[in-house]
Chain A
Amino acid sequence: MSETPPAISATPAALALIAALRRQHGPLMFHQSGGCCDGSAPMCYPAGEFKLGARDVLLGHVGDAPFYIGGDQYERWRHTRLTLDVVRGRGSGFSLEAPEGVRFLIRSDVCAVP
């Protein structure tokens, strides 16, 4: 029996940024966005800032921060495994890292067993 890989993991650079943001802002949470502009980008907030709905799905934890995605979006993403990374940039939206001159980014792989 093969072990199911976690639905979300993070690169060392992303984990370092999460640790830095946590020192600055306290406990964190993530929510995966969809739609235009900064859409399809992960959003990082102070824990509790974003009110979760009944249909949001917990994909896993990055660092010690929970990572959520909307239920409808989850249905369309569930066959892929996500990796949280960080790149130079700015983003828009209210994600915490934007003022640092970097932006969280999602990379994806196809699950071996959907």
Chain B
Amino acid sequence: MRYARPNTPGAKVSYESRYDNFIGGEFVAPVQGRYFENPSPVTGQTFCEVARSSAEDIELALNAAHGAKDRWGKTPAAERARLLNKIADVMEAHLEELAVSETWDNGKPIRETLAADLPLAIDHFRYFAGCIRADEGTLAELDEHTVSYHLKEPLGVVGQIIPWNFPLLMAAWKLAPALAAGNCVVLKPAEQTPATILLWAKLVGAILPPGVVNIVNGFGIEAGKPLAQSPRVAKVAFTGETTTGRLIMQYASENIIPVTLELGGKSPNLFFADILDHDDDFRQKALEGFAMFALNQGEVCTCPSRALIDKKIYGTFLELATERTKRIVQGDPLDTSTMIGAQASNDQLEKILAYIDIGKKEGARVRTGGERVRLGDGLDDGFYVAPTIFEGHNKMRIFQEEIFGPVVSVASFDGFDDAIAQANDTLYGLGAGVWTRDVHTAFRAGRNIAAGRVWTNCYHLYPAHAAFGGYKQSGIGRETHRMMLNHYQQTKNLLVSYDPKPMGFF
């Protein structure tokens, strides 16, 4: 079936023509009165205007957050958890609406937003609602009369800068632990995908006390920078790329505050020879694992964009994998049979095409794809790229840089040590995949790959309660696990003497 486009008869979503910031529990026009146009990558056409905020708007949001922080921080964990669960319930009741909006704003296929983005985002609020109920400090009896208590306190007001690839889900990854831990948030969505979080704020905004969550839209340089640089935030969380990551650390160093950063990767996906030993479900699963590079149009920080294949099966496996890739259905993202939709923006499309170009110039061979796709049916101005398989070697730039498109670069390896050496020959270490029927190989490979997550005989699963974060230049911190609470908490140590007698020093 095909969902009706927003603002047409029968549509699940009807956008307003213009959106303001969400500050202090209400929608507030940007101080300078400026707005920017928000196009859908599905058609390339603008569908709403969004506040183009400046430092003054960030200050308003920080005022609201600071006004709310003492009360929210002292709100019992049970009550905070209840409100997070309520947010999840309302999202669930509006799942289709939010999924259609996410597809329209980002370009990703509706089957993904229905089956992954929204269910995962909803579950994230429930997960951290559960975590904060079970969270507790520690105490130690240091001697007969002295007890050391470790109590956890919220940081206060935190800044969060959200990427455009999973707009609502990435916001949920950051909001849920921050709110559970008792912080107030000023959140800046990506300027490519500002719409769904505003629908979200309309749906769930009244559940939280005013000022607990504030959403300020705008460009990085105009709104993101004053947020990241503000002495009034106690921590900054960012998902994006390395230069901005470094810049955010520099700003944080001016205020001596912590940051968490998720900066992407160039994830290797290793296929050992035994996967072809039998023509069974597992062989099909491994082939599906190869084709996962096309998930979300490759716009995933952990896109398995380097496939390293055992040379013993290289030709046969790649033949099967190419055939599987050619069966990927590209089309209207609002059609439930579509498997790959549109890239999120024109500049993203151009960047991918520039990488395909350098790949060819470096001598990599295109096995399939390698071009922009014009789909017709009103979608010609949308940003579509055919799933692309390159063959080359690991020193080529298409093997070393995150293209963030549906492009996989394939090379062979000769033995276990070569597999690991190639897998680790990258600046990054966010994700990796290992495919084998041999548990010893699986475990050894998993432990030897320098990456924060090694999917073993699976890929692209993002459940809550499995830590996600990078080694090397891929960032700092671990999301999607209760340990993320620690990144939003201070430790208060009360060192208490129960001994009435003087120490006898003076």
Contact = CB atoms under 8 A, between A and B. Distances in A.
Interface stretch (A7-15, A57-65, A70-78): A70-78
Nearest to B161: A92
Interface string B33-52: 00010000000000000001
Interface in A54-109: 70, 72-73, 76-77, 80, 87-96, 98-99, 103, 105-109
B264 A92 contact: no
Contacts of A31: 243
A89 B263 contact: no
A91 B241 contact: no
A79 B183 CA distance: 47
A34 B220 contact: no
B362 interface: yes
Nearest to B355: A40
B427 A34 contact: yes
A40 B358 CA distance: 13
A104 to B, nearest CB: 9
The interface centre, meaning the residue of A35, A43, A107 with most chain B CB atoms within 10 A of its CB, is A35
Interface in B332-355: 345-348, 350-351, 354-355
Interface string A21-37: 00000000001111111
Given A34-B427, A95-B221, A105-B351, A50 B250 contact: yes
Contact of A98 (B191, B350, B401, B403): B191
A93 B163 contact: no
A36 B221 contact: no
A101 B83 CA distance: 39
B473 A92 contact: no
A16 interface: no
A41 B241 contact: yes
B347 A89 contact: yes
Contacts of A95: 220-221
A6 interface: no
Interface in B221-265: 221-222, 224-225, 239-247, 250, 262-265
Given A72-B427, A94-B247, A98-B221, A35 B350 contact: no
A39 B242 contact: yes
Interface residues of B, number: 53
B145 interface: no
Contacts of A45: 247
A103 B301 CA distance: 21
A80 B358 contact: yes
A1 B357 CA distance: 29
B243 A33 contact: yes
Contacts of A92: 163-164, 190-192, 220, 240, 244
B271 interface: no
A89 B191 CA distance: 11
A98 B244 CA distance: 14
A20 interface: no
Contacts of B409: none
A87 B400 CA distance: 23
B196 interface: no
A39 B242 CA distance: 7
A34 B241 contact: yes
A108 B241 contact: no
Contacts of A91: 220, 345, 347
A36 B427 contact: no
B427 A73 contact: yes
Interface string B347-376: 110110011011001100000000000000
B97 interface: no
B488 interface: no
Contacts of A80: 358, 362, 397
Contacts of B247: 43, 45, 49-50, 94
A76 B243 CA distance: 16
Contacts of B402: 34-36, 39-40
Nearest to A68: B243
A38 B221 CA distance: 14
A91 B347 CA distance: 7
Contacts of A37: 163-165, 190, 239-241, 264, 299, 301, 404
B165 A40 contact: no
A100 to B, nearest CB: 10
B474 interface: yes
Contacts of A103: 347, 350
B244 A93 contact: yes
B245 A35 contact: yes
B3 interface: no
Nearest to B246: A50
B200 interface: no
* List of 9 A-B pairs having minimum Cβ-Cβ separation, nearest first: A36-B264, A89-B347, A35-B264, A33-B243, A39-B241, A103-B347, A35-B241, A36-B301, A108-B358
Interface of B: 36, 52, 163-165, 190-192, 219-222, 224-225, 239-247, 250, 262-265, 299, 301, 345-348, 350-351, 354-355, 357-358, 361-362, 395, 397, 400-404, 427-428, 473-474
Interface of A: 31-41, 43, 45, 49-51, 53, 70, 72-73, 76-77, 80, 87-96, 98-99, 103, 105-110
29 contacts: A31-B243, A32-B243, A33-B242, A34-B402, A35-B240, A35-B241, A35-B242, A35-B474, A36-B241, A37-B164, A37-B239, A37-B241, A37-B264, A39-B241, A40-B351, A40-B355, A76-B427, A77-B397, A80-B397, A90-B346, A91-B345, A92-B164, A92-B191, A92-B240, A94-B247, A98-B191, A98-B219, A103-B347, A108-B397
